Each structure stands twice: as C-alpha cells, then as structure tokens.
A and B are shown apart, each in its own frame.
Chain A
Amino acid sequence: MSEIRNRWLFKTSDVVGFTVFACLTCVSLAMLAIWLDLGASKTAFEERVSSLQRTLAQQFGNTDAILTSLAGLHHSSDNIKAHEFAGQSRELLAAYPFVDAIVQANVLEGQDREAFEDRMRSNGFVQFSLNEHRDGEIKNSTLGRNIHLPIVVLEPFDPINASLIGYDMLSNPHLADALATAIASGQVAISNSVTLPNIGERIFVFKAFYLGYTSPTTESLRKIQTSGIIALVIDPRHFLEKIFRDYSDLEITFLVNRDASDNIDRMLFNYVPAQLSARLPFINAFVSRIPLTEKNPSFTLEIRSSPRFEQIRFWLVILLVVIGAVGCGFLGLAIWQKRAGQLRSDEDERVLRENEIKFRDFAEIASDLFWSTDRDLQIDYSSDEPFGLSVLPLQALLTGEESSSTIRISGHIARQLADDLKNHRPFRDIRYSCNDGDGPAKWWAVSGKPTFDSDGNFCGYRGTGRDVTKETEARHALIESKEEAEIANRSKSEFIANMSHELRTPLNAIIGFSEVLQSERLGALGSERYRSYAFDIHNSGNHLLSLINDILDLSKVESGFDDLNEEKINVAEVVRALIVLIKPHAVKGDVTLELDFGDDLPPLYADERKIKQILVNILSNAIKFTRPGGVVTLRIHCLPSGEYEFQVHDNGIGMTPEDVEKALLKFGQIDSELNRKYDGTGLGLPLSKSLTELHGGVLEIDSLKNRGTTVTIRLPAFRTMLPDGSVTEEISADTVL
C-alpha cells in the first residue's frame, strides 16, 4: 500500500505542477508588493519630478527676466544704440549660458524695405537683403507682406549666427503665431521649434517692446505701437540638458505638439543618461508628464524613472520570485531525485533478480562446482544443490578438518591452503582426493577468491571446483609408463654393453689366430682355400669387432656411462692426422677429398678422440656414398656467433627426407648399391649424432636425392677457446652435461 501511494505522489506531472504553482504564487506576491509601492519608490520618483518642475519653472522665469530687462532697456532710453543693446546682450549671454543667442528685430513697413536694405548694405552688410527661411534654405523673399520683422541685431555676432541678420521672422508661420501672441499680450511667448539653416533646431522666446516709455495697456494699442521684438534663441536640447544633468536618474523625453488639431506628440529629443541605457526586466518604469506650455504649441516632458527608483521593487521581485523559485526548484529537484532513485532502485532490483536467475542457470548447467562461504568459511551456496557429496569434503577442506574426513591432500598444499584462508588470500587449483561413498576415490581441483564489503571487511570466499579424476589418473598412468620405458631402455643398454664386452674377448682370439694363419707364421697352410678361409675369418672378425665397438660406444652414451675427456685441441692438426687414415679410402673410391680450413682456426675445447670418431664416421660415409669422380669437401670454420662448425659436403647419391630420418636410426643404414659395396654397421651416423649432442652440439643433415649430402656438426660457442687461450666460465661439467 505504501509503495503504491508513493508512486502516485511522485508523479512527474505532479512535481512540475507543484513547482509552477509555487512560482506563480511568488510572482503574484511580488506584483502585489509592487502595486502597494512597498519601499515608497513611487513617492521618491514623484518628489524628483516635482523638483524638476520647480527647476524648469525657475529656468523659464530666467528667460522672462532676460527679455523683460532688454525690453526695459528700450523703454527707458530715447535712443538705444545697436552696440549698446549688443553689449547688454553679451553680459546676459555670459550670465545665462543656456541662451544661445539674443536678437532684436525691428518693425519695418513694406515701403521702407528698400531704403532699409540700402542702409544696411552701406553700413557693411554688403549682401544684405530681407530674407526668409524656407525648406532649410535662406530665400530672398518675404512673401509680399507689408510688415516685416527683420533681425537687425544679434549676439553672439559670429559667422554662423550672422545668417540671421535680415531674417524676417514674420515669414515663418511657426514663429508668426508666437510673435502675434507676444505682441498682443505684451508677455513672453514661446515659438514652436524651427529649423534654421546651418544652425539647427531652435525655439524662439519672444517679447515685444513698444513705442513710448511704458508698455501699452490694451491689446489694440500694443498691436499698433509695437516697435520691435526681442527674442532669445534657444537650442531646446542645450536648454534642457543643462537642467537634466542634475536629474541623471530620470529619462526625459521632450515632446512637442505643433498643431493643436492633432494630438500627436512629436519627440524633439530624448535625454537618456548613460546609466539608464539598460532597464530592469519585468519592471515598468514610473512615468509622469509635465506640460511646459498649455497652448499651441504645447511642449511636454515625458519623464520615466531610472532603475534607481526601481531597485526596491526589483529586489522585492528578486526576494520573492528568485529565492522562492530557487526554493521550489530545490524542492522539486529533491522530489524528482527521490522519484528517479526509486525508479532506478526498481530497475536495479529487477536486473539483479534476472542476473541471479541467469547465474543459477549457468551454475547448475555447468559441470564445474560453484560455491561460496560466509565469513566463517561455512558454505552457504553450492551449485550442487542440495549440498551434494562433493560439498562435504570441500567444507572439511576449508575448515581444516580434512584429517577427520576421507580427504587425501599433500601436506604442504594443505598448509599453504590453510595459510591463504587465514590471511584471506585467493587460492588456485588446490587438488585433493576423496571417497564419495563406496566408489573409487575422486580428485577435485578447487579455486577460491575472498570477498570484501565496501569497508574492506572480509565476507567469505567464492570459488569453483572441478572434478579432475580422469585427468589425474591419466597423468599418473603416463608417468608410470615413462618410468617403465626408461628403465627398459637403460637395461637394454647395460645388456648390450655387457654382451659386447663378452663378445669381444673370444673375437680377439678369432682375429688373432686368423691373422697368424693368414700370415702362415707357423708354417704354410698348403691349400689356397685354407688361406682364403683364414682371410675371410680375419675380415669377418674385424667387421664383427667394429660392430661391437660401435654398439658399445652407443650404449655407453645412451646409458649415461660415457664421459668426455675434454682438453684443448688443435683442430687443424687433428683433422690432418685423421685425413691420413681416410684418404686411402678416397683414393680407392676415386673420390677427391678437399679440405677447406685455415691454420688460424681457434683451439677447440672438446674430447679429441670423440671429435675424431665423429669426423671419421661422417667422412667415411661421404666417401662411401659418392660415386667415382665425385668430390667430398670438409669445411671447418667459426660462425660469427662463436659456434664451431664442421661441414662435410659430397655430391654423392644423396637421400630423400625419409632416408635421412632412417639413417639417423640405429642400424638404420639405407639400402643401396653403394651400401652393399661397402660394409658398414649402420651405427656411424647415430653414434656421431650422440657424440655431438654429448658435446652440447647439434648434427644436421641436408640432402637431396642424386645431388649430394651436407652434414653439419655445430658445437656451442663456449667450446671455442678465447684468443688468450682461456676457456669461458660456462664450460663446466654441469653445463656440458
């Protein structure tokens, strides 16, 4: 029941749903905090806007004061001169740098225009004419009006502003409305923004001055007694930015509605301090609008709060949303992980069950025994279920109770096993035999490996066991056969040695007496046939003696009774001496015997008699099996490896590989025409091979039928004497043997 409820509770959709719900709750709380203006950030913003309004009012008041003072100059003087007006303007411009220029325009009637222009030209304005600004250019036209308001004085008088001299301000409809207002009201009037060539966008602030010492009191009088206009030329950006610098926490947009008929505000410029460039996410700025002018044109400032005001709200959002979201995230993650862990656990359990079943199937099907023990070495699992007969001896073996059972195991193996078990070491291929009931003993080979838990504590052993009864019995039989064969061979050799000795004693008498008879030393035999018989007896005796000698030598080697009588021998001398014995056979067979070795052969550490015996046998065979006219070559040299090599080559009858194999067998002389021609015991090659091997060397035969044979005897390097005549340390009885 518990598992079912948990699975239902931890569904993924529930986790996601809960997390989303929690986040939404946090967001709602944050929005509520913002709506309630927690932290009073909106109040702070409104105070800043109010402060800005006061500053703007003061700045506008300044423009009023400037214009009023200049208008007062005209009203208080009978003849204010241009340079005096300019001087006053320069002082005001220095005091109020937000004003870009101050201009004076005089009312000019149409009929006086030409004379006025002539006078201006004669005063140095050589290009002077009344002009208007249209389409961003200065045109010499004033639209045929009867009244003009040309600018005649301006400060600062510089090349850029100079183009305003002669500018008929009445020609511009954007200025005309404000001019009319200023003239009719006697008050300060702000023009719409106008674009002046080479100067840019400007706003004019007008004030009229009138004939007489005081301003007319009625609108009608003001209209007919207007003498001229004084105007402040203001770059709105310049004018406002100086103020805005103190309000760098606000983004201020300067809007103008040029036409009262449409309520579309056009942006003159947008003041965005650098630190305001990035707004906070999810937070709407406070917005406030300040109307600068009520009538046409209407100027409005749209003010937006900076992130400074939004920080409190922002941190509220952070506090409630981010921290809440993080908390929900952690909770969701924890639940999710729990759920995932549960799923993983179920899966692991399923896999484990499957693996266990799989393992049990394998174990039960396998011929080997699988077992495991607890930490007390008590077998707690065996594939021989239920615990079969094989398990009980194993249990006894592991617990050291083999003496009380039917187990037979070598003592030192039992001790080694006990030591491994005690020290929790793995053991391998421990063999023992046991009787499982009334049947024959069975041999088992067991291996085991200790197991430890994650903390390194010993948990028991796991291992396998294998029935090796057949394998063990077969090996024992093989060993017994080998021992029997070796005994038989040794007995045979001893027998032959003894028999050969016994045979040689009567043969000496036969050979000796037949030789006496043959030499007729004691008197003539008389009959030729007797002499022939004596010769045959003598030859047969010698042949038999030779055969017995070879058998004797071979038997000695095989029986292990033959020792080497090693000494330093001069190979060249030894060979030349035996050549004397061999050469008559070669001459007799019309075979050329060639020697290929130098006098600089190094000494050989070997048994001289046996070396001679080997070479005589090999050379005799070569001469014997070479046709008349053939060549037998004896080549002796030292190999780069230091080995001493004797090579006998003939171009005789040669042998097939099968013949070579046969020739190396005792009495294995191959049947051939030449074999019958020359007597032989058939023991020469086997004997030579045995003697060579007795020296630690090898004898190899390389032969081709009808092409010849090469016999190579290669003695090990340690038999080659060093240049200083010493023998390597490797030469010892043990090594040789």
Chain B
Amino acid sequence: MRTAKWLPVALGLTILGSAPVAAIGAGETEKKCLFVSSYHQGYEWSDGVERGLRAVLEGKCEYRQFDMDTKHRKSTREKEQSALEAKAIIESWKPDVVITADDNAAKYLIEPYYRDHHLPFVFAGVNWTAKEYGFPYSNVTGMIEVAPIVPMLESAMDIVPKLRRAFYLGADTLTEQKNMERFREAADQLGFMLEWALVDSVEKWLQVYEQAQETDLVILGSNAGINDWDADRARAGVLELTRKLSVTNHDWMMPFAIIGVTKVAEEQGEWAGKAAIAILGGIAPSAIPIVPNNRRDIWVNPKIINAASITLPVSMMRKAKKVLLLE
C-alpha cells in the first residue's frame, strides 16, 4: 500500500528531474532501512560497521540510524531503555528492514521484542555465536563476529615455536571475559598454557603487562572498559617494557602490540547491507544463512619490534600492514 501511495510522488520527481532515481527503481528507493547500533558514533568498531553499511545501502533505501550508546549507558536498565527507544522508532517510522550492530542490540532489542516477528532483522557484530540469543529466528539473519584467534596464535607459534605460556590482558568487562575464554579454548587446542588478567585502569594494565613479559607470548585484549585509558602513557610503557612477542585481534590495540590479526569492521556492515537489500528484494531472512566474518588483516608494529629487539620472519614483514604508516 505504501508503494502505491508513494508511486505518484516518485514519478513526479522523475518527471521533474529534481531528484535522481537510483537504478534499483522508484519502487525500491522508498524502502526504509533502520540501523540500530549498540554503541555510539566515534567508537571505531561501530564506525567501521557503519561505513560498510552506508556504502552498500547508499541510494538503495531511505536510511536512518539510532545509536543505543551502551558504552556509556552501561546499566542493564539503561540498555533496556535504549532498546525501548529503538523499538519506539521502529513502530513510528515503520522500516522495511532493521540492521543491528553488536550484541546489545541483539540482546535487548531483537530477542525480547522481535523474535519470529514479521519485521526482518539483519544483525552484525554479534560475538562468536548467535545461539546465546536463540538465533536463528525466522525473521533474523546476519553475520557473527569471530575473532581470528587460531590463525593469530598459529602465526605467533611460527615465530615462537617453543610456546609454553601465554598471558591474556584485557579490560575487566563481560565481553573480555568471553574473549578470554575463547583464547583459553584455543590454547588448549594448540597445546600451551594461558594465564590472564582483566583490569580496570591503565596503571594496572601496565603493571600486568610488565608481569606478562615473564611468559612467552602476550595477548592483548580490548581496552574498551578501562575508563582512564591513556594511550600515550600506555604506548610509552609498552615501548619501555616489551621484551616478548605481543599479539592482538583488535586493530585499535595495534599501537601497543607487535603483531595483529584483526577483523575488518566494514565487512560486517557490507554483509548486513547486502543481506538487507536481498531481503528488500524478496528473499526471506531464513534463506540467508548466518555466517561468520571472513576477512582479516595482518599488522606489525615496527616501533615496538625495534624497541624489543624481536625479529620477525621476512615473509610476515613483507606481507603485514605497518602500524606506523597509518599513525
């Protein structure tokens, strides 16, 4: 019905030449796509997802975005409130498809309110598994976020063949606890011991980092959740303290690590956008399988390498992206 209502307007615009009509056709450009981000604009991961999404949806549908801002609205009540606000927007604006990014949107919006609903959802950036939220639903598909843990540890083991002990250092958050558990499973699989510490201040982070130099490998988790994070201080501390190989799966942690095997945030957004377009084109969400992310990048940090007097294989140095070039 909405199509019929807006069709004359679209035709009028076409005739007047006052607005370019995308090749997808007048009937499709008026579709509405709502993007619900769990976090806020300026958060690097979310921005990457949003870039990928916007690049795909540009000109394909009317785009709106709602940020739940759960990095700042941390309490359960606040997150639920953000989800209700998103729900209110959905009910008033009536989008044709909703794209969500990261776990909180899935947990507080899709699972409680839109399970097997007629409104299609495409999620992106749900960590590791969708089973936690009961996915798949008949109206939900998406891309889950899998950190390339094993490939990264395999690369580390190529450099440190006698890897026996490794240390995981991250922020004291629920997400980091889950990540750490993944690393523990991988360590078991690859045959080394994993120690770990989750901290809530940069000072503790540096202290633990120093202690971690006693092991064969330092794995840096995310710093998101360390409220007093000071990048300069952390970088200076790392340059001073590093003696062992450090790795990370987070590109924003690369200033503090030697090797990074990272996900590509844009891939999540691009996938979600393409899935949304396919759904708008008539494909049922259930016909699109839930998949993990597929792309990765490899990084090295020459500054820390030099400071720590660590030698990396020539092939890796040739292949990997250099952190300094991007700073």
Contacts and interface: CB of A to CB of B under 8 A. Distances in A.
Interface string A194-217: 000110000000000000000000
B316 interface: no
Given A83-B295, A158-B271, A198-B283, A127 B278 contact: no
Contacts of A128: 289
B289 A127 contact: yes
A569 interface: no
A76 B62 CA distance: 48
Interface stretch (A118-126, A499-507, A620-628): A118-126
B289 A125 contact: yes
Contact of A162 (B129, B131, B288, B295): B288
A197 B274 CA distance: 17
A157 interface: yes
Contacts of A165: 289, 291
B151 A197 contact: no
Interface in B279-293: 283, 287-293
Question: Which of A83, A123, A197 has the most chain B CB atoms inside 10 A of its CB?
Answer: A83
Given A158-B274, A159-B274, A160-B278, A127 B292 contact: no
Nearest to B146: A124
Contacts of A123: 146, 292
A163 interface: yes
B136 interface: yes
A124 B151 contact: no
Contacts of B151: 81, 83
B190 to A, nearest CB: 15
Interface string B245-286: 000000000000000000000000001001100100001000
A127 B286 CA distance: 11
Given A124-B293, A126-B135, A127-B136, A163 B288 contact: yes
Interface in A308-324: none
Nearest to B279: A159
B121 to A, nearest CB: 13
Contacts of B146: 123-124
Contacts of A160: 274, 278, 283, 288
A198 B291 contact: no
Nearest to B267: A157
A124 B292 CA distance: 5
A124 B267 CA distance: 15
A86 interface: yes
A157 B294 CA distance: 8
Nearest to A197: B287
A165 to B, nearest CB: 7
A116 to B, nearest CB: 16
Contacts of B131: 126
A125 B136 CA distance: 11
Contacts of A126: 129-131, 135-136, 144, 290
B296 interface: yes
A86 B296 CA distance: 11
Interface in B139-176: 141, 144, 146, 151
A590 B274 CA distance: 136
Interface in A128-177: 128, 157-160, 162-163, 165
Nearest to A123: B292
Interface string B284-317: 0001111111111000000000000000000000
A163 B278 contact: no
Question: Which of B131, B278, B288, B289 has the most chain A CB atoms inside 10 A of its CB?
Answer: B289
Given A126-B130, A126-B135, A127-B136, A198 B287 contact: yes
A157 B270 CA distance: 11
B144 A124 contact: yes
A162 B296 contact: no
Nearest to A159: B275
Interface string A61-93: 000000000000000000001010010000000
A125 B295 contact: no
B290 A159 contact: no
B295 to A, nearest CB: 7
B320 to A, nearest CB: 14
Contacts of B271: 158-159
Contacts of A162: 288-289, 291
A159 B285 CA distance: 10
A86 B130 CA distance: 24
Nearest to B293: A124
Contacts of B293: 124
Given A83-B294, A83-B295, A198-B283, A159 B288 contact: yes
A19 B290 CA distance: 78
Nearest to A153: B294
Contacts of B129: 124, 126
Contacts of A159: 141, 271, 274-275, 278, 288
A163 B294 contact: no
B289 A163 contact: yes
A154 to B, nearest CB: 9
Nearest to B131: A126
A86 B294 CA distance: 9
Contacts of B283: 160, 198
Contacts of B136: 126-127
Nearest to A154: B294
Contacts of A163: 287-289
B315 to A, nearest CB: 12
A507 B192 CA distance: 192
A81 B131 CA distance: 27
A137 to B, nearest CB: 10
A81 B294 CA distance: 12
A41 to B, nearest CB: 38
Contacts of B288: 159-160, 162-163
Question: Which of B144, B275, B293, B294 has the most chain A CB atoms inside 10 A of its CB?
Answer: B294
A125 B146 CA distance: 10
Contacts of A125: 289-292
B252 to A, nearest CB: 21
A162 B289 CA distance: 7
Contacts of A197: 287
B100 to A, nearest CB: 15
Nearest to A138: B287
A530 B284 CA distance: 162
A76 to B, nearest CB: 15
A120 B16 CA distance: 53
Contacts of A158: 271, 274
A166 B305 CA distance: 41
Contacts of B128: 124
A248 to B, nearest CB: 22
Contacts of B275: 159
Contacts of B135: 126
Contacts of B290: 125-127
A198 B281 CA distance: 11
B319 to A, nearest CB: 10
B309 to A, nearest CB: 29
A158 B292 CA distance: 11
A163 B146 CA distance: 19
Contacts of B287: 163, 197-198
Nearest to B286: A127
Contacts of B289: 125, 127-128, 162-163, 165
A264 B151 CA distance: 52
A429 B288 CA distance: 115
A158 B276 CA distance: 11
Given A126-B129, A127-B290, A198-B283, 10 more contacts: A83-B294, A86-B294, A124-B146, A125-B289, A125-B292, A126-B131, A162-B289, A197-B287, A198-B278, A198-B287
27 contacts: A81-B151, A83-B295, A123-B292, A124-B128, A124-B129, A124-B144, A124-B146, A124-B292, A124-B293, A125-B289, A126-B129, A126-B130, A126-B136, A126-B144, A127-B136, A128-B289, A157-B294, A158-B271, A158-B274, A159-B278, A159-B288, A160-B274, A162-B289, A165-B291, A197-B287, A198-B283, A198-B287
Closest 3 CB pairs of A and B: A124-B292, A159-B275, A124-B146
